[in-house]
């Protein structure tokens, strides 16, 4: 079951031409059989990012939002606060596992990451750091499996129809 995924890069400086993190996520999700339904670049502005996430969450054709950037500790890094604002439920295990995986790659520098995840309007949102390496770690180490209906013993894809029944239908496993 391919999911409908939107990708948002949070940055004051990136363009579609130099957004390697967002570009990587778009390519990876499509190679995994998912559909890219939207892609945008949003400045580090809390209200604009809230509006973007809520707008995508209201759409019936968006199952997952992958966000890259804005998860650090500088004054402009506001993505975790936005995820907290829009989410009905947080998924703390995502950030914990991401930092554990990231530690294998970048060591103690991973403590600066505030990668996080949540759920709102039946839509999953994953906020990743802005580096392409971090996006690769998150995709290869967590998201690729958790967004695959065939991953056992459980995955996020198999739960989507139970998150907002009015928004989705029950998934069918591929043989």
3-state secondary structure of 51: helix
Rounded to whole angstroms, the Cα distance separating 21 from 134 reads: 8
pLDDT score of 1: 73
Answer whether 83's CB lies under 8 Å from 119's CB.
no
pLDDT score of 161: 79
pLDDT score of 167: 62
pLDDT of the chain, 175 residues: tens digit per residue: 799 999 999 999 999 999 999 999 999 999 999 999 999 999 999 999 999 999 999 999 999 999 999 999 999 999 999 999 999 999 999 999 999 999 999 999 999 999 999 999 999 999 999 999 999 999 999 999 999 999 999 999 988 878 765 565 444 444 4
Rounded to whole angstroms, the Cα distance separating 132 from 13 reads: 15
Sign of CA dihedral 77, 81, 86, 92: positive
> What residue ranges define each of the domains in the chain, with the CATH number in brackets?
4-163 (3.40.980.10)
Token pair recorded at residue 170: 């029950």
What Å distances lie between residue 37 and 7, 41, 88, 95, CA to CA? 8, 14, 23, 25
pLDDT score of 172: 44
Sign of CA dihedral 16, 19, 23, 26: negative
Q: What is the pTM of this model?
A: 0.92
118 sits in the region (left: phi over 0; alpha: psi -120 to 50; else beta) called beta
Rounded to whole angstroms, the Cα distance separating 97 from 103 reads: 10
């Amino acid at each position: 079951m391919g999911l409908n995924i939107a990708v948002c890069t949070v940055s004051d400086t990136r363009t579609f031409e130099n957004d390697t993190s967002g570009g990587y996520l778009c390519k990876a999700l499509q190679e995994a059989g998912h559909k890219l339904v939207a892609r945008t670049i949003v400045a580090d502005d809390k209200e604009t990012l809230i509006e973007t996430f809520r707008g995508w969450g209201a759409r019936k054709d968006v199952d997952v939002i992958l966000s890259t950037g804005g998860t650090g500790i500088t004054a402009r890094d506001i993505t975790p606060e936005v995820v907290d604002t829009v989410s009905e439920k947080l998924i703390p295990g995502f950030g914990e596992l991401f930092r554990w995986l990231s530690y294998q790659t970048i060591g103690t520098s991973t403590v600066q990451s505030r990668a996080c995840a949540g759920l709102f309007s039946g839509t999953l949102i994953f906020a990743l750091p802005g580096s392409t390496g971090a996006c690769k770690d998150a995709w290869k180490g967590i998201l690729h499996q958790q967004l695959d209906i065939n991953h056992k013993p459980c995955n996020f894809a198999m739960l989507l129809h139970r998150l907002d029944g009015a928004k989705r239908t029950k998934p069918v496993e591929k043989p």
